[in-house]
Structures are given as C-alpha cells and as structure tokens.
Amino acid sequence: MAALVWVMTGLALWHFTIFLPDRWWSGIVGAFLGAVIGAFVFGLVISGFSVPGRSDTHLITALEAVPGVLLGLAVVWLVGVRQERLGDGARDGLAPRR
Amino acid sequence: MSERRRNLFVLLLVLGLIAASVVVAVARDTKLGLDLQGGVSLVYQAKPTKQQPTITQDALDRAVDIIRERVDSLGVAEPSISRSGKDQVEVDLPAVKDAQRAANQVGSTAQMYFYDWEKTLLDESCKTNPDQVDGGTQQIPGFYSAVKRAAKCPPFDAKTTTTSSEPRFYGFDKAHKPVNGGLPETDQSKLWQDQPGGERPAGAEAIRVPNGILIVRADRPTNPDGTPGPKPDAWWVLHDLPALSGKDITNPEQNFDQTTNEPIVTMDFTSKGKREFQQVTRDLANRGRDNALPSQRPVDASQHFAIVLDNELVSVPYINFAENPDGIDGQSGAQISGSFTTQSAQDLAKFLKIGALPIRLELISRSQVSASLGKQALDQGLKAGVVGFVIVAAFLLLFYRVLGAIAVGALAVYALYFYALVKLIPIVLTLPGIAGLILGLGVAADANIVIFERVKEEVRRGRSTGAAIAEGYKKGISTIVDANVVTFLVAFILFILATAGVKGFALTLGLGTVVSLLTAVLATQAVLLTLRGTTLLRSKAALGTGATSDRERWHFDFMGASRWFFSLSGMILLIGAFAIAGKGLKFGIDFEAGTRIKASLNQPVTVDQVRSVVEKQGFTNVEVQTLKDPELGKNVVQISTGSLKPPQVNRVETALRRSFGLQQSSSDSIGPTFGKTIANSALKAILASLAVISMYIALRFEWKFAVPVLIALMHDILITGGVYALLGREVTASTVAALLTILGFSLYDTIIVFDRIRENMPRMPNAAFSQVVNRSMAEVLTRSLATSFCTLLPVIALLLFGGDTLKDFAFALVVGIASGAYSSIFIASPVLTHWKEREPIYRARHARILAEHGAIPAYAVASAGGPVDIAPSKRRRRTTADPAEGVSQEEFEEMVSQLGVETAPVVAPPRAQGQRPPGGRRARAAGGTPGSAEAGIGDGEGDGPKPRKPRNKSHGRPR
C-alpha cells in the first residue's frame, strides 16, 4: 500500500512541473520518470528497503515521498541541463564558416 | 460490387440475421449463472498428499474428473466445473441449497478400495457365497431395491471403510426415486433439507442401512468406440471388507501387452500392497481352482478382484487360477488385460490414478445465493439494461435526430443479436455479464457518435449530406477500429487472466464490441447510404447540424490552459494519495479472507441484538449492518466476520433462525488464498493490458503517443483509487473489473483525440505542435464529450437500478470514465505536446512563429503559415460525380492557402545555383529573415521560396 501512496504522490507532484521551464532530460516524460521513480526509491530507502503494508501506511507515508520526488526531479533537471549544454557546444562546432 | 449492391447485400444480411436471431431467441433457453438463479459456488485449491507430493496438471485434471463424477451423481442440473489457475477448481452448482453438504460431497478426497469380490458379495438373504462366481447372485436393478436389500442385512463390523463405518439413511420419495442425490446421511433429518420447507414430503421414505454394508453401483458398459457408456441403474450389495486401498498401489498406467500388443492397464504396489495383493489373489486362485468343474474353462470358473472408486465399481478382473495358481506376486506389479480399447484402458488407468494418487481439495471460497436473491439480481440487471437503452436512445435522438433514429434502430438490432448469441453459444449470463452487455450498448452508441460527429463536421464544411455521410464513414472508421480493437484487447486479457466473475463480464464486453462493429458501422452505413438521396436526409437540421457552419467549434486554448488542469489533477491526486495513506483502501472479502452472511429475518432487530447472537456462538470481530432490501424481506442484516468454515456458517444461521426467525440467507466465504489469487490475477491483467495497449498505440500511431496514454491511464486508475479511499467505498472484485474497463474506455477518448492529431499533423506543415493539438481538440471535443457522456448514461443506469454488485461496478466506472474523458483532453494531449515540441522540427516551427508573432497563437492562422481556420465563405458548392471524392469549400480554401497561390506575391531573393539559403534552419528558427515564413508559405523547414508552376484552381495540382 505504501508503494501505491509513494507513486501517487510522485505522480501528483509531477503535475506541477508544468510550471517550470522544460529543461528536463527527455522533457516532461523524463520529469515524470524522475518524480515517480524518485518517490518510490526514496520511500524504499527510508523504510529500510521494505514496502510497509496496509497497517503501517499512514499520512506520513505520503509525505515521505516528497523529498524523493524533489531529488528525482533535480537529477532529471541536472542531466537535462548538462545535455543541453553539451548539445549547444556541438551545434556551435558545426556552424558554417564565414 | 457497386455501392448500391453492397448496401443491399449488407441490409439483406442484417435482415437475415435478425430473422435468425428471433428464431434462436425464441427456441433456446438462457443459461443463468448462480448469481441470477441461486445456488452454491465452491472454489477448491488442490493440495499435495503423500501419494501425490506435487500438484501436476494431470493430477488436477483427474481431480476435475472425479468432481464431475460426483456432481453428476448429485443430480444437479447444468453444473459448471472448471479449472482456475494452476491449482484451483471452481464448481458451480445451480439450485443447490446446502452449501456445506455440497462442499463435503464434492470436495472429499477420492476413495478407492479393492475387494475379494466373491468373498464379500451378498445375495438376497445377505449371505456370501465365495464358492460361486459372482457370489451366485445378480446385479440388483434399481437403487431403491438395492437399498432395501442392504437394509435387511445385519451390521458387519469387520475392517470397514469410512463410507460405511456408521449406519446411514437413504431417502426416497413416494415414487421410490432417490432424494438428496442418492447420497446417504447419518442424520435422517438432513435427507429432507432440499425438500420444500425442509420437511419430509408425504409418502417419502428413509431407509436405514446398517454399518459395514456397502451399496456399489455396477460398472459402466463400454461403448463400441471405447468410450464409457452411461452409468447403469444396477447395484451390488457387499460386505465392506476391502483387501487393499488406493494407497497400496503405485504407478497405474495404460500400456500395451508386449506379446499381443493389446491395450492393458498396469500397476505396481507398495511393500504392504505387494503382500496383501499376493494374499488376496492367492485366495481367489485357490477358490477358483477348487470350485472349477473339470470341463470348465478357467475364465469361466475364476474368481474376481473388484476395484471400487467412490462406491462405484470400476473394474472386476478375474484371477486366472491356471496361470497364477499361487496368486499374483506383486513384486513385478500386475496388469489388467481383456477386451480393452486404448480409450477404455486409459479410462481405467485414470480411475486407478484418481484412487492411487489423490490430491486433497481444500475449500478456499464458498458462496451461496438464494434463488430469490438471484431473481432479484436478474430483475435489477434487466431493469438497468432497459433504462440504459432508453436513455442512450433518447440522447441519440436528441443530438442526431434522423441519424440518431437510425442509430437507435441499430442499437435495437445489436441487443437482439447479442441476446441470440448469448443463447446460441451459450453464454452463462451472470450479473457482471449483464454489466458487460449494458456497457456494450455504450460502445455501440459510441461508434455511431464518432461517425455522426464526423458527418456533421463534413456538413458544416459545406458538403452535401450525401457526401458528408460517405466521407464521415470513410474517415471515422479508422478511429472506431482503433478504439474497438483496444476495448476488445482489454476484454480478451480480462477473459484470459481474471477470475470467473470477471470473465463473464469480459466475454460479453468483447463479444459486444465485435457485434457493435457490424450493427453500428456496417448496418447504419448501408441504411444511410441508401437513404442519402431522399428528402429525409436532405435537411441539415434533420442531422442535428445547425444551419450556420462552424458555430459549434470550440475556440479554447487547450494547451495554454493545460497547466491549470494539470494543477487540478495534481491536487486531486495529492488528496487521493493522502486519503489512501490516511484512511486506506477498504478491501472487500474478495481480497480479505472473511465470511459475509446476508439474512432476512422474521422480526425487526437491532444491530446489537444480531451481534450479540453471533458473538454468543464464539465468533469475534463481527460487523453487522442493516440493509434496506424490500425484495429480500423487511428485516435484512449483513454479518461480516473472519473466515468461517461451512459448519460455522450453519451455526450462525441456526442461531439467527432460533432467535429471530430466518426467512432466507446467502453467504460468501473467501479464504486468504483466494483473495491473493484475485489480487494477483488483477495485477497481471492490468500490467498485460497496459503492455498490449502500449504496443498497439505504438504500432498504429508512433511510440511517443503511447507514453502519454500510459500516463493518462495511470492518472485515471489512481484517481479512481483515491476517490474510493476518500469515500470509504469497498474495493471488490467488481471494482477490479471496472478498473480494467476504465483502461479501455479512457483509451477510447484518447484515441479519438490522437487520431485527429495524427490526421492534422501532415495537414498543418507549418504549425507548432500545440497549434496542431489545439485545432485537433477543437474539432473532436464535442465528439469526445459525446462518447464519454453516452458511455456514462448506461453506467448511470447501472448505478441507479443495478443491485449491490452492479452498483459497486458502476461507481468505479463513473469515476473512471469521467476521469478518462478529462485525462485524454487535459493530460494525455498536453504531455504529448510538451514531448513532441522538443523534436527539432517543432522547435524550429515554435521559434519561427515566436519570432514572427512574439507569441505562439493558440490556433494556426494563414498569416503564420498554418492551415486556415477561417469560416468558409458561402459560395456555390461545387459538385463532383462522386460526392465522397469531392473537396469541400473549406478544404479547397485550405489547400489554396497552404499552397500560397492567393496570398501576396512572394519575391524570392536572388540566389545562385546550388547556393543554400543563408543562416540555415537554426538561424531562421532563432529569428533570422526567412522569406517564406514571413510570407506564410513554405513547409516551415526553411527551404525558402521556390518558383511555382501555375496551378489548376479546381484541383490544386500543377497544370
């Protein structure tokens, strides 16, 4: 049940990335993956690599996913920015000679 | 084939099928499931035994065979016995009232015993005559006579089997026909439980058979083709003194005799079995030899070794005393030979295996529905179906008028075909099946809506109604095929992977999808094309299209507003996540082990009174609810507890009967294993559906279209889950079926939108992707909303008029379909837009339009190089020989505009031969001075203007 809550929180917060400039690795889909995977992995880590069952799932479980979402999004963003820079460099090198 | 002939052929086909359907509907009976006619449903899980340490498919098949034999002997009409998953067997017994007894009789472990035939067989005076072949007696014709003879015998207290360890009672009606399926009861009163009022009928008789006396049915004859013949109504009475049991034999199998090559059955023995087998065969051989006359052949004088499985004689081979004077040494096994065919030898080997390698059957789910509850459920389902049909018909008539009337006719034909198919196949109609049928109405109506909206669109573009109908079907068919294929695939996956109740739904939904293609597409097309020249279809108003073209087009910046809709979805999901985390999902007993008893009582009771009575029986954690169910009775209560065994359920029912007077009751018991099975199968079905849907979308569209679809589906399912948690509604097996259906329906909407995006992409070669999507959305939004609304109508009928099961199902569908319509517009399309706009081609267009206008207009306009979105001028409509081949006024304007013929003359900058335009694509995208983009012509890729040949205005092609 906790896994469902983490993923759902990740998906919910991902919706708000639409307000940010699209510099994600693989765009909005990359942000989606970052948010959902980040939420799940972080939840798993702080739960000691086990998924809490129904009786161990509380409101706090949803909050536990938030740092994971932010971390996941940050990673995707940084990779995206880095790729953008590299891409710009490559294009600069291919400019026609004047 | 000309169009007229084709239409005539289709209409004749439809009429022929109508006639055939009427015949089938009248001539055949409808098979109702247990939930609609009452009865007992049992699910067994096979467990290993010492003899059969692993559950193989072969062992499970044998278990199914023996269950079938037992059910047949119960005399249940139209039972259903099927394997479910790797190790489960589901048994449906219509009209059976006592679930406990049925469970005991059907699921007991197979009992096989071997008898010294002549030594145990009893004659008319209850004496054994071991010196005579067959004990000097004959088969007893008729079960009543056999029981009467057995009743006369004194008790026999030797080494008896469990079957006859106690005296038993056999019941017979006044015509001497056995009651209770011919099965004995140790408690005489239990014989009459299935009789009206549970009382012994007038003239009925209970006959007591003493312990140690066994009544065995004679062996079945073999048909000439080797298959077993019918069970004979002939019986033997014997002392229950077995020489060996099924546990004493090993490796029974069909083989071929090495010398004669004839089919035989071989078996081996355990060490104990070897000794006992040698002993009994030695006795048989000695007696045979001693009693044989000098001229008598050994085959005629030999004595017999009887094999009895579940009190039915399987085989009675003789022991040839001439060949085996000292009996048969069991060291190297034994073989049974004779006039076997391969088939009959295989059958005997199968029976020996059933006895020798039994598996234990553990009851993991038991549900019982009373006949009146079943009837009530059927009435509710039919009522929901009729109401669903009426409101869908009303909607179609209101919005599409003449077209709608034809669609309603097609719906009626659909319902008739479907009803006939249900009877013809036959499909066992269950409540979930009725839900599938009602949803099928929505699917059939959706197909018509997709086409009718397309027809209306063509009419608004200035086409004649005839041309619009032809064009509407031509363009709409791919959308319908895509959407129906996806719905069909989901239904197929459900059918393969889901549990029995959901299978019924999947079967009717899948079948309905196929039938709807025939009625909603082919039949309506033939009718409309036949009528298109008539006055009936000449008026635009008759089609539900206003006189003013374009008046219904949406001009909303869907992509611009998507961030706000994203935020709304995000908030809903966040609330859902907190609801699931805080309140949790309330799983029904389908997932949690437990028992639910629904009972109507004679007197009014409070919840506490009922709880107190149940708790006095020693059960804790009892939840009691009072229900309003006038058709079931005045005082209906529902009791939920932990998982109870059948006798415990009976205890509760007896306590209720004593305390309050019990009119009728139904119960469901689900073991923990069964709940896990349902959850696992649901998870598998969801994952498989998502995989298949993704593959289909990737193949039909492109892979980038599949990802937004998956995100939107995830959105819909999670929102539905969140709503369930928020409202505290129970998640049942029906909810899972509904979730899977949501996958299909959500996709229906998304496919409608994506199909138009795919169509518009090449038609708008200069537009930003957001403009392509906005335009596509504006064109199909009405259609998308109409299909969702039309699907919602029958679902709402289910919600209002269906029984408890259907209401659960309908609630999940209402949430899911609403969410699906929303997500296809505001989630899937924006995600696709954002993703596609990262592609270099759309980046370039985006940058170019931005450079030209300072912002991206919501809709592409002629000045921005996109297709014109202007209203068509009211010019004389051109006609062509075939209206379907023609080009509408607006399309013509679009072509002209795209080709740039009527725009301001463009002066191409002088350029040397072979010289590329300055700046390149990136420079122009970044705000360079592209000539073509400014002028609104070109392909948007920066190829620059080219000298154009003069064009033929009529066709837009170079002269």
Supply the DSSP string of B846-911, one letter for each residue.
HHHHHHHHSS--SS--GGGTS---PPPP-PPPP--SSGGG---HHHHHHHHHHHTTTS----PPP-
At B457-511, the pLDDT tens digits run 888 777 887 788 888 888 888 878 888 888 888 888 878 876 666 777 788 888 8
Nearest to B573 among A8, A58, A96 (CB): A8
Whether B843 contacts chain A with CB within 8 A: no
Bridging pattern class, strands B88-94 and B334-336: unpaired
Quick one: closest CA in A to B559, which residue? A18
pLDDT band at B549 (very low <50, low <70, confident <90, very high): very low
Helix then strand then coil, % of chain B, to nearest 5: 55, 15, 30
**Chains A–B, number of C-beta pairs less than 8 Å apart:** 90
Question: Residue B584: which of A12, A22, A54 has the nearest Cβ?
Answer: A54
Residue B958 confidence (pLDDT): 41
Calculate what percentage of chain B has a pLDDT beyond 90.
Answer: 7
Residues 6+ apart with CB under 8 A from B2: none
* More reliable by pLDDT, B152 or B332: B152
Residues B804-823: tens digit of each pLDDT: 767 777 888 888 888 888 88
Mean pLDDT (whole number) for B240-266:
85
User: What is the model's pLDDT at position B861?
Assistant: 66
Neighboring chain A residues of B920 at a CB cutoff of 8 Å: 96
The chain A residue lying nearest B573, using CA atoms, is A12
The phi and psi torsions of B635 (rounded to 5 degrees) equal -115, 85
Residues of B in contact with A16 (CB under 8 A): 566-567, 570
More confident residue, B834 or B442: B834
Sign, Cα dihedral of B351, B352, B355, B357: negative
* Pairwise CB contact (< 8 Å): A27 & B835: yes
The 10s digit of each residue's pLDDT in B691-708 is 888 888 888 888 888 899
Q: Model confidence at B573, in pLDDT bands (50, 70, 90)?
A: very high
Pick B401 or B545 by higher pLDDT.
B401
Token digits for B204?
């009925």
Give how far B578 is from chain A: nearest CA, Å. 6
Answer for the pair B818, B420: CB distance below 8 angstroms, yes or no.
no
Between chains, do B570 and A16 touch, taking CB under 8 Å as contact?
Answer: yes
Most confident of B440-444, B889-893, B897-901: B440-444
Across B131-159, average pLDDT = 86
CA distance B725 to B577: 9
Q: Which range in B63-77, B182-196, B769-783 is most confidently predicted, on average pLDDT?
A: B769-783
Q: What is the pLDDT of residue A11?
A: 94
CB-based contact B707 A29, cutoff 8 Å: yes
Please indicate whether, in this complex, the C-beta atoms of A8 and B570 are within 8 angstroms of each other: no
Cβ contact B722–A61 (<8 Å) = no
Q: How far is CA B120 from CA B240, B274, B308, B318, B419, in A?
A: 7, 21, 13, 15, 56
Return the pLDDT at B732.
78
Q: What is the pLDDT of residue B746?
A: 76
Alpha carbon of B570: minimum distance to chain A alpha carbons (Å): 4
pLDDT of residue B896 exceeding 70, the answer is no
Half-sphere exposure of B501 (CA within 13 A, CB side): 26
- pLDDT band for position B74 (cuts 50, 70, 90): low
Checking if the pLDDT of B401 tops 90, the result is no
Answer yes or no: do B831 and A7 touch at CB < 8 A: no
Joined together, the tokens standing for residue A16 give 């708000």
The pLDDT confidence band at residue A9, using thresholds 50, 70 and 90, is very high
3-state helix, strand, coil in chain A (%, to 5): 75, 0, 25
Residue B592 has pLDDT above 50, yes or no: yes
How far A59 CA lies from chain B's nearest CA (Å)?
A: 5
- Asked if the Cβ–Cβ distance from A13 to B570 is below 8 Å, we say yes
Chain B residue with Cα closest to A36: B711
Work out the pLDDT band at B876, boundaries 50, 70, 90: very low
pLDDT value at position A17?
A: 93
Residue B656 parent element (H or E): helix B646-660
Chain B nearest-CA residue for A27:
B835
Give me the percent of chain B exceeding a pLDDT of 70. 82
Please check the confidence at residue B579 and state whether its pLDDT lies above 90. Answer: yes
Rounded to a whole number of angstroms, the distance from the CA of B704 to the nearest CA of chain A is: 10
Looking up tokens 């000691």 gives A48
Cβ A8–B920 below 8 Å, yes or no?
Answer: no
Q: Are strands B623-627 and B312-315 parallel, antiparallel or unpaired?
A: unpaired
Residue B22's pLDDT is: 92
pLDDT in tens, B661-680: 877 777 777 776 677 777 77
B570 part of contact set with chain A, CB < 8 Å: yes
The arithmetic mean of pLDDT across residues B606-627, rounded, is: 83
Contact partners, residue B906, CB within 8 Å, separation at least 6: B900, B931, B932, B935, B937, B945
Is the Cβ–Cβ distance between B615 and B622 less than 8 Å? yes
**Residue B358: strand, helix, or coil:** coil
Strand partners, B290: none
Q: Which residue has the higher pLDDT, B551 or B92?
A: B92
d(CA B62, CA B355): 10
Q: How many angstroms away from the CA of A57 is the closest CA of chain B? A: 6
Q: What is the mean pLDDT of chain B?
A: 78
CB B666 within 8 A of CB B373: yes
Per-residue model confidence (pLDDT) at position B931: 37
Q: Cα separation of B309 and A3, whole Å?
A: 51
Q: Are strands B586-587 and B730-731 parallel, antiparallel or unpaired?
A: parallel
Closest to B485 measured CA to CA, from B634, B696, B777: B696
Residue showing tokens 């596509």: B776
Sheet holding B305-309, edge to edge: B140-141, B234-239, B213-217, B312-315, B305-309, B112-116, B242-245
Picking from B562, B584, B585, the nearest residue to A18 by CB comes out as: B562
**Cα B745 from Cα B754, distance rounded (Å):** 14
* Cβ–Cβ gap B718/A14 under 8 Å: no
Among left, alpha and beta (phi > 0; psi -120 to 50; other), residue B690 is: alpha
Asked whether the beta carbons of residue B566 and residue A15 sit closer than 8 angstroms, the reply is: yes
Say what the pLDDT of residue B870 is: 38
Would you say residue B923 has pLDDT above 60? no
Of the two residues B648 and B257, the one the predictor is more confident about is B257
Give yes or no for residue B435 having a pLDDT over 80: no
pLDDT at position A70 over 90: yes
Question: Residue B396: pLDDT band by 50, 70, 90 thresholds?
Answer: confident
Q: How far apart are CA A38 and CA B820, in angstroms?
A: 26
CA-based nearest distance A7→chain B, Å? 9
Answer whether residue B882 shows pLDDT above 60. no
pLDDT exceeds 60 at position B426? yes
| Whether pLDDT at B608 is above 80 | yes
Rg for chain A, CA atoms, rounded? 17
Mean pLDDT of B774-784: 85
What totals of helices (H) and strands (E) does chain A contain, helices first?
A: 3, 0
Q: Which two tokens stand for residue B684?
A: 């598998």
Among B857, B850, B956, B861, smallest CA distance to B899 is for: B956
Write out the two tokens for B110: 């197979």
Residues contacting residue B564 through CB under 8 Å, at least 6 positions apart: none
B923 touches chain A (CB under 8 A): no
More confident residue, B492 or A87: B492
Segment B45-55 shows an average pLDDT of: 79
Selecting from B567, B837, B920 the residue whose C-beta is nearest the C-beta of A15 gives B567
B327-379, pLDDT tens digit by residue? 888 888 888 887 777 877 887 787 777 776 677 888 777 777 777 677 777 78
Query: Residue B479: in which H helix or E strand, if any?
Result: helix B465-497
CB < 8 Å to B580, chain A: 1, 4-5, 8, 57, 62
CB neighbour list of residue B420: distance below 8 Å, 6 or more residues apart: B20, B21, B22, B24, B25
Q: Which residue has the higher pLDDT, B607 or B147?
A: B147
Chain B residues touching residue A57 (CB < 8 angstroms): 580-581, 584
CB B31 within 8 A of CB B429: yes
Q: What is the pLDDT of residues B298-312, one digit of tens each?
A: 778 888 888 888 788
Q: Quote the CA–CA distance of A7 and A40 in Å, as a whole number.
A: 6
Facing residue for A5 by CB, picked from B566, B577, B708: B577
Tell me the per-residue pLDDT of A36-64, one tens digit each, with 9 for 90 and over.
Answer: 999 999 999 999 988 898 888 888 999 99
- Which residues from chain B sit within 8 angstroms of residue A54, using beta carbons? 584-585
**pLDDT at residue number B660:** 85
